[in-house]
Chains A and B, each alone.
Chain A
Amino acid sequence: MMTCAGMRERLQELVDGEGQALAETRAHVERCPACRRDYEALSAAASAVAGLDAIEPPSGFEEAVLRRVRLRLGLGRAARLVACALLSTWAAAGFLLTSRFLKGHAWGFAGFLMDPQASLPGLKLGVLQAFVLVRDLWDILSTLLQLRLGSPELVPLHWLVAACLAAASLRLIRSPDNGYRRSL
């Protein structure tokens, strides 16, 4: 049989209807006037909180939230546009650098076969350009990672393709000079 000792927690569990041996606790409460008084007071406190009124937010609350949501949406779109513009620029720069490097290497390799001594400075320049290229490509990669390229919503692929095509067109119109050609 349950005693009043240690009933404090049991009474609380009975008020919540969650816990162990609720039936035993209820039976004890029915028998014991002191525990019944405690239980009733705790139940009254619980009922008092349950009976509290809901409180209306100030007028214009809903409109204010929706306005802020719309503002955030607008900022999100603007951020996406800026990210696309940035990525396009980087992609174009990457394309130009890579094509320039590859072309330079082709000339340098041909020159090295014909006259190894004369094209040595060009090859040194090639090594330097390779470092620069790796660094620049890393910059591009890290930027893409930072801007979460993985999210198709953020950076649509067609933007990158368009940027690469634009860079290729520029490359055809303007054929940049390089050290290898001069060394030949």
Chain B
Amino acid sequence: MRMPADPQDLSAVQRCLRGETAVFSELLGRYKLRVFSYLLRVVRNPSDAEDLAQETFLKAYSKLGSYDPAHPFLTWLFRIAHNCAVDLLRRRRPEEFSLEDEEEPLETADPAADPERRAESASTRESVDHALAGLPAPYREALILRHREGLDYRSMAGVLGVPEGTVKIRIFRGRDLLRKRLSEMGLAGA
């Protein structure tokens, strides 16, 4: 089901377009947390995530005139953020956005492999974040948009610029991989 824009967002966008640029800070304050969290989990580098989040809001501001109120403002922001992240990852780490190795998630330090590190793991959430970070970027991104942000398949297809069938495949495979990793880490019931 596709939701239209939130009336508050729509009003803020219209005021921005009429020249009340200060209103943009309302939209920024409302969505900075979710956009930054999403980008950080996709690119896995705080400095890159901050740059990309800034770029996302700047692009959003420049393109406010092209925003379609038939879709939620946040979905539109995610679309811009996704494009920014893909550009960066393809430029710096092209292997990460490839799904050739979809059955072989990227190697990252695994807390389960080292009992001491496992003991040091501050919380289950950190471990889940760690397990998620070990998935290929397209799966990681699909899971975040689906479960953390609550987007439906159709909205996700719009954000990621792929068919709904591809979205489903990424979610299914990503979830399967995450389940295996959580199980290996002893967090199957997380």
Q: Which residues of A contact B (CB under 8 A)?
A: 8-9, 12, 15-16, 18, 41-42, 44-58, 61-62, 64-66, 68-70, 72-73
CB–CB B28/A66 < 8 A: yes
CB–CB A52/B32 < 8 A: no
Stretch from B4-12, B80-88, B95-103, B170-178 forming part of the interface with A = B170-178
Within 8 A of A (CB), among B10-62: 21, 24-25, 28-29, 32-34, 36-37, 40-41, 46, 49-50, 53-54, 57-58, 61-62
Cα–Cα distance between A57 and B39 once the two chains are bound (Å): 10
Pick from A45, A48, A64: contact of B54, CB below 8 A: A64
Point out the residues of chain B lying under 8 angstroms from A46, CB to CB: 143, 146-147, 175
B137, CB-defined interface residue at 8 Å: no
Cβ-closest 10 pairs across A and B: A49-B147, A57-B36, A48-B190, A12-B172, A45-B179, A48-B128, A50-B147, A55-B37, A45-B178, A65-B57
B115, CB-defined interface residue at 8 Å: no
CB–CB A41/B37 < 8 A: no
Q: Within the complex, what minimum Cβ distance (angstroms) separates A184 from chain B?
A: 57
Point out the residues of chain B lying under 8 angstroms from A42, CB to CB: 175-176, 179
CB–CB A56/B33 < 8 A: yes
Cα–Cα distance between A51 and B153 once the two chains are bound (Å): 20
| Extra contacts besides A48-B128, A50-B147, A51-B128 (12): CB < 8 Å | A16-B146, A45-B182, A46-B143, A48-B131, A49-B147, A55-B36, A64-B54, A65-B57, A65-B58, A68-B54, A68-B58, A69-B57
Pick from B28, B188, B189: contact of A62, CB below 8 A: B28
Chain B, residue nearest A9 (CB): B172
Q: Within the complex, what minimum Cβ distance (angstroms) separates B113 from chain A?
A: 19
Point out the residues of chain B lying under 8 angstroms from A68, CB to CB: 54, 58
CB–CB A61/B32 < 8 A: yes
Tell me how many residues of B have a C-beta within 8 Å of chain A: 48
CB–CB A55/B182 < 8 A: no
Q: List 17 A-B contacts (CB under 8 A).
A: A12-B176, A15-B175, A16-B146, A46-B143, A48-B124, A48-B182, A51-B125, A52-B148, A53-B125, A55-B41, A56-B33, A56-B36, A58-B46, A64-B54, A65-B57, A68-B54, A72-B62
Point out the residues of chain A lying under 8 angstroms from B58, CB to CB: 65, 68-69, 72
Cα–Cα distance between A126 and B11 once the two chains are bound (Å): 60
B152, CB-defined interface residue at 8 Å: yes
Point out the residues of chain B lying under 8 angstroms from A49, CB to CB: 128, 132, 143-144, 146-148, 178
Known: A44-B179, A65-B57, A68-B58. A55 touches B143 (CB 8 A): no
Chain B, residue nearest A70 (CB): B21
B74, CB-defined interface residue at 8 Å: no
Pick from A18, A41, A61, A66: contact of B53, CB below 8 A: A61
Point out the residues of chain A lying under 8 angstroms from B129, CB to CB: 52
B89, CB-defined interface residue at 8 Å: no
Cα–Cα distance between A44 and B186 once the two chains are bound (Å): 12
B187, CB-defined interface residue at 8 Å: yes
Pick from B34, B41, B150, B152: contact of A18, CB below 8 A: B152
Q: Within the complex, what minimum Cβ distance (angstroms) separates B109 from chain A?
A: 19
Known: A49-B144, A73-B21. A58 touches B175 (CB 8 A): no
